[in-house]
Amino acid sequence: RLRTLLHSHCEAQQKFRTEMDAKLRRQFRDYNFEADDTTLAAMADGHRSDQSGGRPGSSTSQLVALEAMDENTEELEKLARAAQDLRQAFIDVESLVNVQGEVITDIEEHLAHTANRTKEAEEELARAQVSQRRWCRYRWFMSFVLVAIILVIGIMVF
């Protein structure tokens, strides 16, 4: 039973190592497009031996490659932050446009209301003018009647 556990553990380690090698090769290939599989394998082996403490001076190209990948990663993170900031700016602009749209809608409503009120005021002024003419005619008529009554009384008294 111990033997099967050790065997399964060893298989899991080898599977993990294979997956990590594939991942490391993909990363090296992303950085160095012209590299062939043997160069990538040598770079991965050199990286693995550097991590385990072997061959201290043999991995300067791998270190340069890793540093370049780190720089690329940092640049990608900066781009991601810039894209997020740009997205937020567009959201802010959209909210400002919506607010301005509401303001414009309010202005349009106020203009329509003002036009209606102006039309009502014009109609009221026309009615007032007609009423004023009638009142003026009534006053003239009443003045004429009053003068006629005074004349009739004046003629009767004399």
pLDDT digits over 105-138, tens only?
888 888 889 999 999 999 999 999 999 999 999 9
- C-alpha to C-alpha distance for 69 and 32, rounded to whole angstroms: 10
**Cα–Cα distance list, 14 to 9, 23, 41, 52, 141 (Å):** 9, 14, 16, 16, 122
* Residue 24: CB atoms within 10 Å: 19
Q: Which of 7-16, 49-58, 84-93 has the lowest mean pLDDT?
A: 49-58
| 87 to 74, 81, 83, 91, 96: CA distances (angstroms) | 20, 10, 6, 6, 14
pLDDT in tens, 32-72: 655 566 666 665 565 444 444 443 444 566 667 677 777 77
Q: Residues near 84 by Cβ (< 8 Å), separated by ≥ 6? A: none
